[in-house]
Each structure stands twice: as C-alpha cells, then as structure tokens.
Amino acid sequence: MPQYEIGIILNPNLDGAQAALEKDVIKAALERHGASIKNVDDWGNRRLAYPIQKDPEGNVVFYTVEMAGNNNAALERELRLRDHVRRVTIIRDRPEWRNSQKKK
C-alpha cells in the first residue's frame, strides 16, 4: 500500500483535553478509512506563515499512514468538516523524494 503524510492544523486555542479529543477523533477517522498509522509527529502550537481565521498560530500535527489511494478525497472531506480543523493536506510519500547520498 502507498504511504502518505497527512498534515493537519488545528485551532491553537484548544486546551490540552480538547486537543487530545480532537486528535483521537482524527485517529478514528483515519482508521475508519482504512489507514494504518505508522507515525504521529505533534509539533504543538507554531507560528504560521499567514493567519488562518485571524489566528497567527496553529496546532500542527503530521500523520504518516499507509492507505489505499481511493480514500483520500473522502478522508479529506471528513476531516475538513471538523470545527477545530483549520487545514488538511494529504501528500503521497515517494521514496525518490527522500534525501539520500548519491554515489559519485
């Protein structure tokens, strides 16, 4: 199965319990769409390049998952409907994009 990286920006004004609940809902949605989670990289609140809904910060979380490619649109649509999710990006991870030492 192809590997994807899913980047999500959450509302930065959530307290710890609300943020944890939102991440649990996102994890359940990923599993419902047939994604197997390989890694979760939680960056916490970060300053954004531009404000989203008048907030200069966002709670940034990256998920590395394996899933079938036909579930991307439905998964993205479901995640965008959440009130506290500000942005969703789903990017297919390709081995040739990885930094590797080239033989000379």
CATH number, domain containing residue 65: 3.30.70.60
Residues in Cβ contact with 21 at an 8 Å cutoff, skipping those fewer than 6 apart = none
Asked whether residue 69 is domain-assigned, the answer is yes
Confidence of residue 98 (pLDDT cuts 50, 70, 90): low
What integer pLDDT is reported at residue 47 of this predicted model? 96
| Residue 23 pLDDT greater than 90, yes or no | yes
pLDDT given at position 26: 95
- Three-point CA angle 32, 34, 39, nearest 5°: 100
What pTM was estimated for this model as a whole? 0.86
Does 64 fall in a domain? yes
According to DSSP, residue 83 is labeled T
Say which residue the tokens 């080239």 belong to.
102
Is residue 102 in some structural domain? no
* Position 104 in a domain: no
Residue 56 domain flag: yes
Q: Residue 85 belongs to what domain range?
A: 3-96
pLDDT per position as a tens digit, 26-84: 999 999 999 999 999 999 999 999 999 999 999 999 999 999 878 788 999 999 999 99
Does residue 101 belong to any structural domain of this protein? Answer: no
Is 83 inside a domain boundary? Answer: yes
CB-CB neighbours of 12 under 10 Å = 20
